[in-house]
Amino acid sequence: MIDTQKYKTQLEELLAELTADLTEIGIHDPKNTENWIETTKDLGTSNADPLDVADRTEEWDERKATVAVLETRYNNITHALANIEAGTYGVCEIGGEEIETDRLDANPAARTCKAHIEEEANLPN
């Protein structure tokens, strides 16, 4: 039997941390709560030096990549919390078997068992 209360607490803590991180570099898309949009805030604006512009473009690309990674984690966590509410937490989304507790301990937002770990990245949100 999976101790969902334990994982729920962990997931809520992770979600709070991720929300704080994402809020620093992006905003929540008001039309789609699974989407975060990176902001240009703090990247600097008024200086027209071309070298600075190149730096900013690079920083902007990095920020976009960071937002994408955090957004995936964020969505996996909200997904896991929804599964806890629905009573379907800890079930592999590929094969339907119970996810190993040591895997959930390492990643409470895991969506697959160890045998299907390679396929997790291909799952739709």
Q: Quote the CA–CA distance of 94 and 59 in Å, as a whole number.
A: 37
What Å distances lie between residue 110 and 39, 65, 67, 75, 107, CA to CA?
Answer: 29, 21, 19, 11, 5
CB of 80 to Zn ion, least distance (A): 15
CB of 98 to Zn ion, least distance (A): 9
What Å distances lie between residue 40 and 32, 37, 61, 103, CA to CA?
Answer: 20, 10, 11, 37
CB of 88 to Zn ion, least distance (A): 14
Within residues 37-76, the interface with Zn ion by CB under 5 A covers: none
Toward Zn ion, which CB reaches closer, 12 or 100?
Answer: 100
Among the listed residues 108, 113, 77, the one whose alpha carbon sits nearest the alpha carbon of residue 94: 113
Binder of Zn ion out of 15, 37, 94, 117 (CB under 5 A): 94
**55's tokens:** 């730096």
Binder of Zn ion out of 58, 62, 95, 105 (CB under 5 A): 95
CB of 48 to Zn ion, least distance (A): 54
Toward Zn ion, which CB reaches closer, 27 or 91?
Answer: 91
Q: Quote the CA–CA distance of 110 and 63 in Å, as a whole number.
A: 25
Summarize as ranges the residues that interact with Zn ion (CB under 5 A).
92, 94-95, 113, 116
